[in-house]
Amino acid sequence: MSLIMNDIKKGIQYAFQTSNNMTLAMSGSGHTAMECAVFNIVEPGESVLVAINGIWGERVAEIAERMGAKVHTLFKTPGGHFTNAEIEQALAKHKPVLFFLTHGESSAGLVHPMDGVGDICHKYNCLLLVDSVASLGAAPILMDQQNIDILYTGSQKALNAPPGTAPVSFSERACHKMFNRKTKPVSYLLDMTHLSNYWGNDGKPERIYHHTGPVSGFFALRESLAIIAEMGLENSWSHHTEIAEYLWKGLEDLGLKLFIKDKDLRLPSVTTIAIPEGYDWKELLAYIMKHHRIEFTGGLGPSVGMVLRIGLMGYNCNKANAAMVLAALEDALKQCRKSKA
């Protein structure tokens, strides 16, 4: 099992494009890695800055608040993104120890620009925490090159493994903050002092029992990381982009409006459609499920009532599926029209 875990670590290092020693997979979903990062980096009373432009920023702000941090927020409505100047202004004002940004905001279908953000954070002696659950493997992210201090993802999106494991990596800067705390992290299960040993990252010869990890989940994660390594990250990124662009053109040909207007800011793995005028979005989804056996979803958190969302990622990301989606939508638009005016 230790050898399997070592392989997983190498696979995550490749997928994240990092040489960080403190690289591992959490025993749990993406939220586990999210909480692990906040709990280990931040101490009660410290300042945290959270960029909120969808549901994931909202979650991190609540997690940080629950463990006693002073939480400051940068806010945009779903679909909005933050300029580096806006981020720098907030960092200078609030002087946080940690800044959180979502790379793949799946509730809005937005992929956030990352270049320069890490440099700005380091200028203000702040660590950068990034959520790439919906984007890793589908859109480019380069942990070391972009100076990201803590990066995490989930196993079940473009990595295509079953849910229940969450890759995460910490830079040396993050480790220095994490292992020089005055107080213990609020969670024993997520305490990186123990987890670093569990994953063989602390330089000690013996791994001491900490918890029972999801063994079957680790086997599957190892295989999914092997598949993406064999395919090549660049090929995975271009494949997701190609299928997304095919879908986007088809949606526009149906007269639908894509929620994210700037093509460069669209998340390839999760496409968001502005709810078409004159339609009940719940009726559209129910019709497609009943007559085509395809599950679309509405918005999530703050984007509820604003968008329809289509996920094409990993094994599911191919032209045949995109074509099925377009045919189902075309049928639903003909059958479900609310106003005939």
* Residues 203 and 318 grouped into a single domain: no
Q: Are strands 22-27 and 127-131 parallel, antiparallel or unpaired?
A: unpaired
pLDDT (0 to 100) of residue 341: 43
- Cβ neighbours of residue 37 closer than 8 Å, sequence gap 6 or more: 129, 150, 152, 168, 170
181 is in an annotated binding site: no
* Residues 255 and 218 grouped into a single domain: no
| CATH number of the domain to which 249 belongs | 3.90.1150.10
d(CA 93, CA 12): 35
| CATH number of the domain to which 154 belongs | 3.40.640.10
Count of domains forming the chain: 2
pLDDT (0 to 100) of residue 77: 96
Looking at the predicted structure, is the pLDDT value of residue 34 above 50? yes
Alpha helices in the chain (DSSP H): 2-16, 30-41, 55-66, 84-94, 117-123, 172-178, 192-198, 215-231, 233-253, 281-292, 319-335
* Residues 223 and 287 grouped into a single domain: no
CB 46 within 8 A of CB 70: yes
* Residues 143 and 241 grouped into a single domain: no
Looking at the predicted structure, is the pLDDT value of residue 339 above 90? no
What are the structure tokens assigned to 195, written together? 């987890």
pLDDT (0 to 100) of residue 337: 76
Looking at the predicted structure, is the pLDDT value of residue 183 above 60? yes
pLDDT, tens only, 100-159: 999 999 999 999 999 999 999 999 999 999 999 999 999 999 999 999 999 999 999 999
pLDDT (0 to 100) of residue 177: 98
- Examine residue 341 and state whether it is found in any structural domain, yes or no: no
Q: Which domain holds residue 278?
A: 233-336
Using pLDDT thresholds of 50, 70 and 90, give the confidence band for residue 14.
very high
For CA atoms 78, 79, 85, 91, give the dihedral sign: positive
Q: How far is CA 113 from CA 81, 118, 141, 165, 251, in A?
A: 8, 11, 9, 26, 24
Task: Decide which of 209, 231, 253 is a domain's last residue.
Answer: 231
Which whole number is the average pLDDT over 292-309? 96
The average confidence (pLDDT) of the chain is 97
Which whole number is the average pLDDT over 273-285? 95
* DSSP designation for 147: T
Q: What's the distance, Cα to Cα, between the start and end of the chain in Å?
A: 64
Looking at the predicted structure, is the pLDDT value of residue 237 above 50? yes
What are the structure tokens assigned to 40, written together? 């280990």
Q: What percent of the chain has pLDDT over 90?
A: 99
- Examine residue 111 and state whether it is found in any structural domain, yes or no: yes
What are the structure tokens assigned to 74, written together? 């940068």
CB 33 within 8 A of CB 24: no
pLDDT, tens only, 69-87: 999 999 999 999 999 999 9
Looking at the predicted structure, is the pLDDT value of residue 194 above 60? yes
* Residues 307 and 165 grouped into a single domain: no
- Examine residue 189 and state whether it is found in any structural domain, yes or no: yes
* Residues 36 and 175 grouped into a single domain: yes
Question: Which residue matches tokens 């432009």?
Answer: 53
* Residues 101 and 3 grouped into a single domain: yes
Query: Could you tell me the pTM of the whole model?
Result: 0.96
* Residues 54 and 153 grouped into a single domain: yes
- Examine residue 209 and state whether it is found in any structural domain, yes or no: yes
Which whole number is the average pLDDT over 179-189? 97
* Residues 227 and 332 grouped into a single domain: no
- Examine residue 271 and state whether it is found in any structural domain, yes or no: yes
* Residues 127 and 276 grouped into a single domain: no
